[in-house]
Amino acid sequence: MNRRTLLASITALPLLLGLPAFAQDQAKPHDGKAISVLLPPWGTLPKEMTDRFTSETGISLDTQTLGWDDIRTKIVTSMVAGTAPANVTEVDWSWVGQFGSAEWYTLLDDKVDAALIADLPTAAIFKFDGKLMAVPYNNDFRILIFNRDHLDRAKITEAPKTPDELLAAAKAIKAAGIAEYPIGLPLSATEGSATAWYLLTKAFGGDLFDAEFKPLFTTPDSAGYKAMSFEIEALKAGLVDPAATGLKDVEIQELFKSGKISFDVAGWAGNLAVYSDKAKSQVAEHAEAGLMPHVGPKSRTFGLPGAVGIPVSAADPEAGLAFVDWLLKPENQMASYAALGNLPTRTSVLEKLNAEGKLASGDVLLQQAALVEPLFAQGTPGWYPEFSSAVASTLNQAAKGQISVDDAVKQIAEAAIAAQAQ
């Protein structure tokens, strides 16, 4: 074989094998790179997935895990100082107004495939001034999750459909000695407690603000007032654990998994995957979902999706974008759901999981998903973090008996007006 023939044979070899020339290099354009990713516990991927990410992309992954509140603090502190907290970070729905106005995140409209965005209904929540600043990976909306065994033993045949029915069911379960504190609600001075109050405000048929952001929750006949009264009355009646004043939402989840509570009232929809996993939950055979109890013609809930974004000061944004693209692949959305309970954000993936019987309480989840509303119809305002902090601390004071519900809602309204004026 002469030299020309040999070279021709070598050049043709990838074609004969059905592979493009230099396939290995093309498959891993970021080979040898390293990035850091800052995510909350529910977004922190298991080692099997991070190892696979490195194998498929060539990028080493440094995963940093912090609580929700701590992540926001780190992002704000870092970005004000002109440094990046990580190459890729969590971007919560509630931070969009603040972070968007500060121009802290790389805009992704021309960097993410349009077909992917079309498959992500909640992507609209992460647009600021019409521009996409993060891509949702966690389809978080709230739904009632209950222990079917507890209801059966208390001779309750259906999931509660109204707040009054929820209280009645909890009283029956407690009276039967099945659970000492049947209702799981966080009442600590944390975002999870504020979220539960927002949800219950919708359950009672109302909203927090009108179109001009005027508070709607200060009078006894308002939904927000009734929602807070519901929480405090359930606590006083012994239906909620007194220790809830120091518990976060993730700790309420642990109580449900252990079988100590009957209702996760502000349940994360994706958590049904975890609650139904025998390796992670003691109530795997009994965890079910019901539509959020409601006053009015239909159940109501709102979306709290989590997304990933790339800070403008982050090094190597292309490698960060490779992680974002990888995380949103169908197989990785399904793996994250199975391992962490992160409900997929892609409509096509949700439908596939349900069709295959892999979506716990799938029909109810899809029914509730169709009723998801934004918390703020006008979009999340930049002053939301200050408002939410006031809600969490004031609700905690009311739960501890330090102030009345009447005083609490008035303080929250004053805080909202002050935050808007800044």
DSSP letters for 300-369: -EEB--EEEE-BTT-S-HHHHHHHHHHHTSHHHHHHHHHHH----S-HHHHHHHHHTT-STTHHHHHHHH
What value, to the nearest 5°, has the Cα angle with vertex 335 and ends 281 and 288? 35
Please tell me whether residues 297 and 319 are part of one structural domain. no
**Is 9 a domain residue?**
no
Total domains present in the chain: 2
Please tell me whether residues 366 and 396 are part of one structural domain. no
Please tell me whether residues 78 and 221 are part of one structural domain. no
Q: What are 93-123's pLDDT values in tens digits?
A: 989 988 999 999 999 999 999 999 999 988 9
**Is 248 a domain residue?**
yes
Predicted confidence at residue 10, as pLDDT, reads 35
Predicted confidence at residue 121, as pLDDT, reads 87
Taking the complete model, does pTM exceed 0.85, yes or no?
Answer: no
Higher-confidence position of 9 and 399: 399
**Is 298 a domain residue?**
yes
Predicted confidence at residue 202, as pLDDT, reads 96
Please tell me whether residues 406 and 345 are part of one structural domain. no
Range of the domain at 322: 30-138+304-373
241-254 mean pLDDT: 96
Please tell me whether residues 295 and 312 are part of one structural domain. no
**Is 3 a domain residue?**
no
| CATH for 123 | 3.40.190.10
**Is 15 a domain residue?**
no
Please tell me whether residues 225 and 175 are part of one structural domain. yes
Higher-confidence position of 6 and 265: 265
User: Is 50 exceeded by the pLDDT of residue 12?
Assistant: no
**Is 10 a domain residue?**
no
Please tell me whether residues 353 and 400 are part of one structural domain. no
35 touches 316 (CB < 8 A): yes
Q: What are 303-317's pLDDT values in tens digits?
A: 889 999 999 999 999
395-412 mean pLDDT: 98
104 touches 79 (CB < 8 A): yes
User: Is 80 exceeded by the pLDDT of residue 26?
Assistant: no
Please tell me whether residues 125 and 41 are part of one structural domain. yes
For residue 108, the tally of other CB atoms under 10 A from its CB is: 23
Q: What are 283-294's pLDDT values in tens digits?
A: 999 999 999 999
Scanning 20-162, the segments in alpha helix (DSSP H) are 23-27, 47-57, 68-80, 96-102, 114-118, 148-153
**Is 18 a domain residue?**
no
Name the band, by pLDDT with cuts 50, 70 and 90, for residue 374: confident
172-177 mean pLDDT: 98
Please tell me whether residues 99 and 212 are part of one structural domain. no
**Is 2 a domain residue?**
no
